[in-house]
């Protein structure tokens, strides 16, 4: 009997000693392996709207990802950290918003807020706004989160369920923007929307020019083709320090016989050709993002990734930090 009691006590002691301690904010920050001391942009995700692996995909590019849960990819989003005012902002509300917002608010170490100070939307395609649902009463039940939108996007959210519930319950507060009119977030940070052509079924589509204390960035995750834009992308790249741009498909091989007119995007191979005349310095500003699940640039070890890097361009990866 005594022997049995000793075994039970030993089991309880061992179980308690092995129980993991809750992670502190510093533990989480260390695991993210990024350090932000100055106002910066952080890449929170790089995949196209449907994510990677993509639902229903039986291709080789998805099989391993379905089988290995440790390999994590997230839908395209940028985070903006204003270290001077201890504020954070997100560009687009993706289906991965929970982990992305936690990552962003954890990196900003000077306060314990779990909610960002604002969200800028680019357009009404599924990977760019549907994360707003998690601000509703079934999830976070947020209070008056600022969401910056263009006029048609404002109408879309106000007039369609369930999004209008977020507005009516004041989980979100819509701030209407005007094309090319800067939104000032602080004395040293402003964000300017710029219209771009892109299958505008439900809303207009914008990219953003982000001006920081010392540097600036261009964010265009979606566009039909560069030659359809009224602006010259090469000239726009030269004006900024970073250009986060649409790289949905590496080449036409990915879409097989599908009509590119149904899903227009500039191929990476096309963009590289257009950017060929840039100086080495300007090429290094280009950060390719928004990868379809078939895009070989998702794999850092692919031949295509190595080729893009050899040509002087960058490939966006989660946790990459760019000081402003």
pLDDT one-digit tens code per residue, 232-246 = 999 999 999 999 999
Provide the pLDDT for residue 70: 64
Provide the pLDDT for residue 9: 42
CB distance 100 to 94 below 8 Å = yes
Q: Is residue 203 predicted with pLDDT exceeding 90?
A: yes
Provide the pLDDT for residue 74: 83
CA dist., res. 80 & res. 119, Å (int): 10
Q: Is residue 59 predicted with pLDDT exceeding 80?
A: no
Angstrom CA distances, 276 to 219, 273, 304, 308, 311, stand at 20, 5, 16, 12, 9
CA dist., res. 118 & res. 85, Å (int): 13
Contacts of 248 (CB under 8 A, 6+ apart): 48, 222, 263, 265, 290, 291, 292, 295
Provide the pLDDT for residue 251: 84
pLDDT one-digit tens code per residue, 30-41 = 444 456 889 999
Provide the pLDDT for residue 13: 40
Q: 3-state SS string over 94-120?
A: CCCHHHHHHHHHHHCCCCCCCCCCCEE
Neighbour count for residue 152 (Cβ, 10 Å): 15
The pLDDT mean for the chain works out to 85
Q: Residue 293 has which token pair?
A: 């699940």
Stretch 260-275: mean pLDDT: 85
Backbone angles phi, psi at 227, to 5 degrees: -75, -5
Domains in the chain (CATH in brackets) are 23-323 (3.60.15.10)
pTM of the model: 0.85
CB distance 43 to 34 below 8 Å = no
Contacts of 83 (CB under 8 A, 6+ apart): 36, 37, 38, 39, 40, 108, 110
> What is the pLDDT confidence band of residue 85, given thresholds at 50, 70 and 90?
very high
Q: Is residue 152 predicted with pLDDT exceeding 50?
A: yes
pLDDT one-digit tens code per residue, 176-200 = 999 999 999 999 999 999 999 988 8
CA dist., res. 121 & res. 144, Å (int): 16
Provide the pLDDT for residue 31: 43
Return the minimum-mean-pLDDT range out of 108-112, 278-282, 289-293. Answer: 108-112
CA dist., res. 92 & res. 78, Å (int): 8
CA dist., res. 282 & res. 287, Å (int): 11
Residue 318, classed as helix, strand or coil, is coil
């Amino acid at each position: 009997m005594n022997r049995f009691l000793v075994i039970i006590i030993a089991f309880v002691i061992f179980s308690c000693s092995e129980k993991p301690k809750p992670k502190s904010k510093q533990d989480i920050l260390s695991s993210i392996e990024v350090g932000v001391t100055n106002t910066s942009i952080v890449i929170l995700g790089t995949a196209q709207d449907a994510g990677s692996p993509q639902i229903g995909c039986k291709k080789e590019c998805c099989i391993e990802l379905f089988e290995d849960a440790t390999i994590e990819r997230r839908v395209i989003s940028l985070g903006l950290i204003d270290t001077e005012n201890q504020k954070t902002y997100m560009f687009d509300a993706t289906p991965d918003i929970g982990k992305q917002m936690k990552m962003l608010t954890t990196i900003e170490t000077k306060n314990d807020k779990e909610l960002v100070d604002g969200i800028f939307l680019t357009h009404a395609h599924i990977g760019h706004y549907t994360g707003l649902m998690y601000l509703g009463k079934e999830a976070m039940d947020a209070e008056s989160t600022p969401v910056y939108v263009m006029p048609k996007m404002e109408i879309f959210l106000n007039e369609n369920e369930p999004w209008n519930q977020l507005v009516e319950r004041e989980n979100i507060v819509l701030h209407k923007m005007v094309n090319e009119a800067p939104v000032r977030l602080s004395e040293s940070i402003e964000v300017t929307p710029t219209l771009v052509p892109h299958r505008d079924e439900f809303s207009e589509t914008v990219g953003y020019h982000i001006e920081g204390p010392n540097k600036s960035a261009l964010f265009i995750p979606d566009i039909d083709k560069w030659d359809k834009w009224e602006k010259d992308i090469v000239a726009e790249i030269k004006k900024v320090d970073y250009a986060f741009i649409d790289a949905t498909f590496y080449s036409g091989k990915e879409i097989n016989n599908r009509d590119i007119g149904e899903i227009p995007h500039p191929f990476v191979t096309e963009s590289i050709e257009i950017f060929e005349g840039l100086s080495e310095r300007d090429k290094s500003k280009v950060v390719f993002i928004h990868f379809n699940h078939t895009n070989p640039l998702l794999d850092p070890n692919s031949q295509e990734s190595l080729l893009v890097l050899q040509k002087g361009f960058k490939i966006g990866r989660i946790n990459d930090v760019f000081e402003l």
